[in-house]
Structure 1
Amino acid sequence: MTDATNVDALYQEIILDHYKRPHGAGLREPFEAEVHHVNPSCGDEITLRVHLDGETVADVSYDAQGCSISRASTSVLNDLIVGKSITEGMAVLDEFNTLMHGKGKIEPDEDILEDGIAFAGVAQFPGRIKCALLGWMAWKDAVSQALVTTSSTTTASTTGETP
Structure 2
Amino acid sequence: MSFNNNLDQLYRQVIMDHYKNPRNRGVLSEDTVTINMNNPTCGDRIQLSLKVEDGKVVDAKFEGEGCSISLSSASMMTQAIKGQPIEHALKLSHIFSDMMQGKDYDDSIDLGDMEALQGVSKFPARIKCATLAWKAMEKGLRNQSEAE
TM-score calculated relative to the size of structure 2: 0.94
Relative distance call for 1:132 and 1:47 in structure 2 (3 A) is same
Gaps of 5+ in 1: 152-163
Q: Distance in 2 between matches of 1:110 and 1:43?
A: 34
SS in 1 for 2:63: strand
How is 1:93-112 mapped onto 2 (pairs within 5 angstroms)? 93-102=93-102, 106=104, 109=107, 111-112=109-110
Q: Distance in 2 between matches of 1:51 and 1:124?
A: 34
Q: Residues 33-92 of structure 1, C-alpha deviation per residue, up to 9 Å, x if partnerless?
A: 111101011010001111101111001111110000000000000111000100011111
Q: Residues 102-143 of structure 1, C-alpha deviation per residue, up to 9 Å, x if partnerless?
A: 1xx757838431100000111100000000000000011111
Gaps of 5+ in 2: none
SS in 2 for 1:30: coil
Q: Distance in 1 between matches of 2:11 and 2:82?
A: 22
Does the CA contact (< 8 Å) of 1:32 and 1:146 recur in 2?
Answer: no
1:122 matched to 2:120? The reply is yes
TM-score calculated relative to the size of structure 1: 0.86
Relative distance call for 1:119 and 1:20 in structure 2 (3 A) is same
Q: Distance in 2 between matches of 1:17 and 1:4?
A: 20
AA matched with 1:18: H
Q: Distance in 2 between matches of 1:87 and 1:108?
A: 15
AA matched with 1:22: P
The structure whose Rg is larger is 1
* Equivalent residue number for residue 63 of structure 2: 63
SS in 1 for 2:26: coil
Relative distance call for 1:81 and 1:121 in structure 2 (3 A) is same
The root-mean-square deviation of aligned C-alpha atoms, in Å, is 1.5
Relative distance call for 1:108 and 1:75 in structure 2 (3 A) is farther
* Equivalent residue number for residue 88 of structure 1: 88
* Equivalent residue number for residue 49 of structure 1: 49
Q: Distance in 1 between matches of 2:108 and 2:24?
A: 21
* Equivalent residue number for residue 161 of structure 1: none
SS in 2 for 1:42: coil
* Equivalent residue number for residue 26 of structure 1: 26
* Equivalent residue number for residue 143 of structure 1: 141
